[in-house]
Structure 1
Amino acid sequence: MSLVVLPGTSISNLSGVSHTVFYLRGIPGLEDKHMWISIPFFTSYVTALLGNSLLIFIILNNRSLHEPMYLFLCMLAGADIVLSTCTVPQALAIFWFRAGEISLNRCIAQVFFITSTFMSESGILLVMAFDRYIAICYPLRYTTILTHALIGKIGATIFLRSFGTVFPMTFLLKRLTFCRTNILPHTVCEHIGLAKFSCDDIRINIWYGFFVLMSTIALDVFLIIVSYMLILHAVFHIPSRDARHKALNTCGSHVCVIFLFYGPGIFSTLTQRFGRHISPHIHILLANVCILAPPMLNPIIYGIKTKQIRDQVTHILFSKHI
C-alpha cells in the first residue's frame, strides 16, 4: 500500500516513490458537516436516477415521442445518469464511511468518464440547439433533414469526439510520478487536480487540458450562441405574434438547461481565477454543483415545460388511481 503523506511534509526523501493509492478528503474544512452535506448529495442522486430513467422509459416506449428533439433528450438523460453515477456514490462513501481511498488507475478512470461524459452532454446540447434551429427555420423539412439514421450518426459522433479527446489524458496522467502528498482535497478525481501532485513537469497536461476545453466546450458554447442568434433572427421575421410566441416557447426548456449546464461551470471557473480569497471548500462545493444540478433538474425542467412528457408522466403516476 502507498504511504500516506500529510500536507506540508517534505518530499525530498521521497524521490523515486510514486503513489499508487490516493485518499479523497471530501470537502476540507467541513469534515464535521459531511453527514449533513450528504443529504443534498443523496437526494440529488436519487432524483437524477429516477427522473432520467423515467424520461428514457417514456420516450422509448411512446412512438409519438420518437422525434429528433426527444431522441436527443433521451441521450442527454442517459449521459446525466452516467455523470451522476461516476461521482455521487464516491462522494457519499467519503461522507458516510470515510472511504476515500482510491487507486491511481481508478482515479484516472474517473477522470476519463467524468470529463468525457461532461463533454458528451455539451455536444448533445449543441445538436439540440441545431434541432431547434431546423424546427423553426425549416419546419416543413424537419423530419426529412433529421432522419433517425442521421440522429444515430450524430450521437455516435458526439460520443466518439468526447472519448477521442479525453483518452490521451489517461496517458498524460499515467506517465507522471506522484511523489508528493497522496491526499486529494476533493470528492472526485480531476485531471489537473491530480496532475499537480506530481513531481514531473505538467505543462503538457495543462496545455492539453486547455486545448480540449477550447476545442469542445468553448466551441460548443460559441456554436450554440450562433444557433440562437439565427433562431431569433428567424422568429422576429414571423409576422404573427402568436406564431412568434409559440416558436420561442419550443426553445424554453432547452435554454433553461443550457444555463443550468454552463452557468455553474462558468461561475466556478471565475471564482477559481479571481476569487483567491475564497475558501477552498467553496470552490469544491461549486465544482460539485456543476455535477449535481444538471442531472437532477434536467428531467424536472423538461417534465414541467414539455406537454407531451408531462402528460405521459401524469398518465404513468396517476392512471391506476383514476
Structure 2
Amino acid sequence: MEKENYSLVTEFILRGLTDQPELQMPLFFLFLGIYVITVVGNLSMIILIGLSSHLHNPMYCFLSSLSFIDLCQSTVIIPKMLLNFVSEKNTISYSECMTQFYFFGFFAISECQMLAVMAYDRYVAVCHPLRYNLIMSYQVCSWLVCGVYMLGFLGATAHTSCLIRAFFCNENVINHYFCDLLPLLKLSCSSTYVNEVVTLASNAFNIFFPTLTIICSYVLIIACILKIQSTEGRSKTFSTCSSHIAAVGVFFGSLAFMYLKPFSVKYMDQGKVSSVFYTILVPMLNPLIYSLRNKDVKIALKKVIERLKF
C-alpha cells in the first residue's frame, strides 16, 4: 500500500487500566493519593538534601537526582491518567502522545542509568573507603549526573524519531493507560523493523548493562562485607546498601517483565500491571525506602523540623 492511501490517525484512545465503570472512581482516588505521596515525598527529599549541609556528598547528590527523575516521571504519566478516569472518552492527540512518550522514555532511561551510577557509588564507598573522596570528587559526580541525562536524551530522541516515522491507520485504541512503545507499535500499519532494532539495542544498553553494572558492584560489595570481622560492622555496611537493593529490585524487575519479552507480546494486560510498578509505584516508594531505612536522612529531617519550630 502506498503512503498516500493511509488514513493517518490524529488522535488515540487510551483504553486505561480497566473497562469497568464501577472501578473508575475508586482507581481515581487511589492514584490521586499515590501521586500526592509521590510529589510530597520526592520534593521533600530534594529540599531536605538541599538544606542539610552534611548530606552534601555524592550519595545524596545522586539520591536527589533520582528523586527529581521520579517526580518528573510520575508527573508525565499520572495527571493524564487521572483525567482519563473522570472523562467519558479517554483521548489523546497524536502530538501529545508523542510528547508523553518522549518524556517517559527520557526519565525511564535516566532512572536506569542513575540506579547503576548509585550502585557504583556504593561499591567505591564500601570497597575503597579511603579513596572515596578522591574517586567520587565533585567533578566526577557532576559528569556522571550529566552523563545520565545525556543518555536519557539520546535514547528518548532515538525512540521517538523512529516512532514518528511509523504510520498509524484507522486503528487508534491504545491498550494501555499512557503512550508506551509496544502498544503503539502494535497499532502501526507500516514496517516496525527499525523500531524493533532500536528497541533491542536500547534494551541491551539501558536495561542489560545497568543491571550487569549493579550485579557486579554488589558481588564485589558482598565480597568486601564478608571480609569484615565483626558482625556489627558487616550489618552496618550492608544497611547502607539495602535501600538501593530494594529500589533496584522493584524497578528493574517490573521493567524487565515489560521490555525483555519477545517483541510480538500477546499479554498486554499483564504488561499494564507491570508498568504500574515502574511508572507509578517505584517513584512513590523510592523516597520512603531511602528515608525510612537511612539514619542520616532521619537526623537531617529532625534538624530541619527543629529549625522550623524555632
Same fold at TM > 0.5: yes
Distance 1:141 1:98 in 2: 59
User: Equivalent residue for 2:302?
Assistant: 314
Q: Which residue of 1 aligns with 2:292?
A: 304
* Distance (Å, rounded) in 2 between the aligned partners of 1:183 and 1:32: 21
1:124 positional shift: 0.9
Q: Which residue of 2 aligns with 1:44?
A: 34
Q: In 1, are the aligned partners of 2:35 and 2:78 still within 8 Å (CA)?
A: yes
Distance verdict in 2 for CA 1:173–1:272, change over 3 Å: closer
Whether contact under 8 Å (2:257, 2:271) holds in the other structure is no
Task: Give me the whole-angstrom Cα distance separating, in 1, the residues matched to 2:283 and 2:88.
Answer: 25
Is 2:7 the partner of 1:17?
yes
In the TM superposition, what whole-angstrom CA distance separates every residue of 1:213-247 from its partner, at most 9, and x where no partner exists? Answer: 11111110011000101111111122233222221
Moved more, 198-207 or 27-36: 27-36
C-alpha root-mean-square deviation of aligned residues, in Å?
2.4
Do the aligned partners of 2:106 and 2:152 also contact (CA within 8 Å) in 1? yes
Q: CA deviation at 1:184?
A: 1.4
Structure 2 Cα separation of the partners of residues 281 and 31 of structure 1:
17
Tell me which amino acid in the other structure corresponds to 1:17. S
Say yes or no: does 1:221 pair with 2:208.
no
Is 1:144 matched with 2:154? no
Which residue number corresponds to residue 186 of structure 2? 196
Where 1:102 maps in the other structure, the secondary structure is: strand
Matching residue's letter, 1:308: D
**1:263, CA displacement in angstroms?**
2.2
What CA deviation, in whole Å up to 9, does each residue of 1:65-89 have, x standing for no partner? 0011000000000000010000000
CA contact (8 A) 1:29 1:281 kept: no
Match for residue 283 of structure 1?
271
Report the CA distance shift for 1:315/1:97 in structure 2 as closer, same or farther (over 3 A).
Answer: farther
Aligned-pair distance for 1:317? 4.8
- Could you say if the C-alpha distance between residues 202 and 283 of structure 1 is closer, same or farther in structure 2, counting changes exceeding 3 Å? same
Aligned partner of 2:196 among 178, 187, 206: 206
Deviation larger for 31-40 or 227-236:
31-40
Following superposition of structure 1 onto structure 2, how do residues 116-131 of structure 1 map, counting pairs within 5 Å? 116-131=106-121
SS at match of 2:177: coil
1:101 alignment partner AA: T
Return 103-112 or 233-242, whichever deviates more. 233-242
Q: Equivalences for 1:262-273 in 2 at 5 Å?
A: 262-268=252-258
Number of equivalent positions? 308
Which stretch shifts more, 266-275 or 31-40? 266-275
Quote the residue 1:83 is aligned against. Answer: 73
Distance 1:270 1:168 in 2: 19
1:316 Cα shift? Answer: 4.2
Three-state SS of the structure 1 residue aligned to 2:16 is coil
Matched, 1:74 2:64: yes
Q: Which residue of 1 aligns with 2:165?
A: 175
Change (3 A) 1:263 1:317: farther
In the alignment, is the contact (CA less than 8 A) between 1:27 and 1:187 conserved in 2? Answer: yes
1:234-253 paired onto structure 2 within 5 Å:
234-253=224-243
- Greater displacement, 51-60 / 172-181: 172-181
Give the drift of 1:318: 6.7
Structure 1: state its 5+ residue gaps. 1-10
How many Å apart are 1:291 and its aligned residue?
Answer: 1.0
CA deviation vs aligned residue, 1:87-125 (integer Å, no higher than 9, x gap): 000100100224522121221111111112111111111
The answer for the alignment partner of 1:6 in structure 2 is none
Report if aligned partners of 1:15, 1:179 keep a CA contact under 8 Å in 2. no
Tell me by how many angstroms 1:313 deviates. 2.5
Aligned partner (choices 216, 226, 230) of residue 220 of structure 2: 230
SS in 2 for 1:196: helix
Structure 2, unaligned runs of 5 or more:
none
Q: Name the TM-score, length of structure 2 as normaliser.
A: 0.92
Supply the AA of the counterpart residue of 2:181: H
Residue identity opposite 1:288 in structure 2: V
Q: Distance in 1 between matches of 2:39 and 2:164?
A: 32
Structure 1 residues 141-181: Cα deviation after superposition (integer angstroms, max 9, x where no partner)? 11121111111110001110111122122221212221131
What is the CA–CA distance in structure 2 between the aligned matches of 1:99 and 1:152, rounded to whole Å?
45
Give 1:105's aligned amino acid: S
Structure 1 residues 178-207: Cα deviation after superposition (integer angstroms, max 9, x where no partner): 113112121100122112212111111112
CA distance in 1, matches of 2:198, 2:295: 43
- The letter of the residue matching 2:217 is S
